[in-house]
Structure 1
Amino acid sequence: MTAEANDKKTHFAPELHIPNGTFNIDFYIKFGATEHFIFRNDDGSIHVAELEIDGAIFHLHETMRWFEANEPVTAKGVTAVIGLFVDDVQEVFDRAIVAGATGITPVTDHDYGYRQAMFKDPFGHYWQIQKKISSGKSI
């Protein structure tokens, strides 16, 4: 799905907070994201960037203290888990690791009908890469 087609449907576009003074978001490009736009502050640091992974749009935004949103390092913990549905969980997980992510859980087929893996990106955001593989078992 293209970004233009995505604009015509209701969808989530998570905003991932990054530390003020961040100049480099190369991890996301190495991971396979396409940059739509990037706005920089006067010092060249990133204010906001819009990125897309196979039709899934997300934003990186410098931490804005006026509404008390923090990136995971300052918050000292996970602030959200980004769930990304893909066709090939292993390939996407491996691509993230090569780009600089840290593996949290390996690719696993679960009884509830999902193949999933989790990694942490260099800014501390957790991503759950997943694919529905069956209707799952009753719990």
Structure 2
Amino acid sequence: MTDITIVPKLVAAGADRAIDFYQKALNAELIARYTAPDGSVVYSELTVGSSRISVKDEDGTDRAAPTVGGSPVILTLEVDDADAVANRMLDAGASTIFPVDDRGYGYRQGRVEDPFGYQWIISQRTEDLDTSEVQQRLDSAAP
């Protein structure tokens, strides 16, 4: 099998503002940005740690998350310090969905929504558990 990499493309009403947000909130580095004759961003690529994301302006084909009632995709950031990353995202304009807290299944996690309608789980591993231990903890926590 050939090597496969997934690069999510985030469509935004205001791609340049989104690029700026990701640079501030996630320390993303812009590595490519291409525009149409009208100046709209048709493709950009940013590195976020060892990952990449793409951002483009909304157009007649590609719709931003708020235009379609929100995105059904939730992005996860695996980080060393969930609190610091959450605070940086909030300072840059994100809003809290779930505050960062210790979860019983071996992670410290929270969820934020960025100003462009995309939700991000900020996840920091706190325990090394195997899959059966995680399931056991989830089962015991169920109401």
2:104 is matched with which residue?
Answer: 111
Give a deviation string over 1:96-133, Cα, whole Å, max 9, x none: 11111111111111112111111111111101110222
Output aligned runs, 1:46-85, within 5 Å. 46-63=41-58, 65-66=60-61, 69-85=62-78
2:89 is matched with which residue?
Answer: 96
Given the alignment of the two structures, is residue 12 of structure 1 paired with residue 6 of structure 2, yes or no? yes
TM-score of the pair, normalised by structure 1: 0.81
TM-score of the pair, normalised by structure 2: 0.79
After TM superposition, give the deviation of residue 78 of structure 1 in Å.
2.7
Alpha carbons of structure 1 residues 22 and 131: separation in structure 2 relative to 1, 3 Å: closer
* Other structure's SS at 2:42 match: strand
Identity of aligned residues (%): 30
Structure 1 stretches of 4+ moved >6 Å: none
**How many aligned residue pairs are there?**
129
1:29 is matched with which residue?
Answer: 23
* Other structure's SS at 1:42 match: coil
Q: Looking at secondary structure, tell me which structure has more helix per residue.
A: 2
* Other structure's SS at 2:17 match: coil
After TM superposition, give the deviation of residue 42 of structure 1 in Å.
1.3
Given the alignment of the two structures, is residue 132 of structure 1 paired with residue 125 of structure 2, yes or no? yes
Structure 1: gaps (5+ residues): 1-7
Give a deviation string over 1:38-88, Cα, whole Å, max 9, x none: 11121222111101111111111234544xx53211111233111110111
Rounded Cα–Cα distance in structure 1 between residues aligned with 2:16 and 2:103: 38
Does the 8 A contact of 2:15 with 2:56 survive in 1?
no
- After superposition, the CA RMSD in angstroms is 2.0
Rounded Cα–Cα distance in structure 2 between residues aligned with 1:53 and 1:80: 18
After TM superposition, give the deviation of residue 23 of structure 1 in Å.
4.1
- Give 1 or 2 for the bigger CA radius of gyration: 2
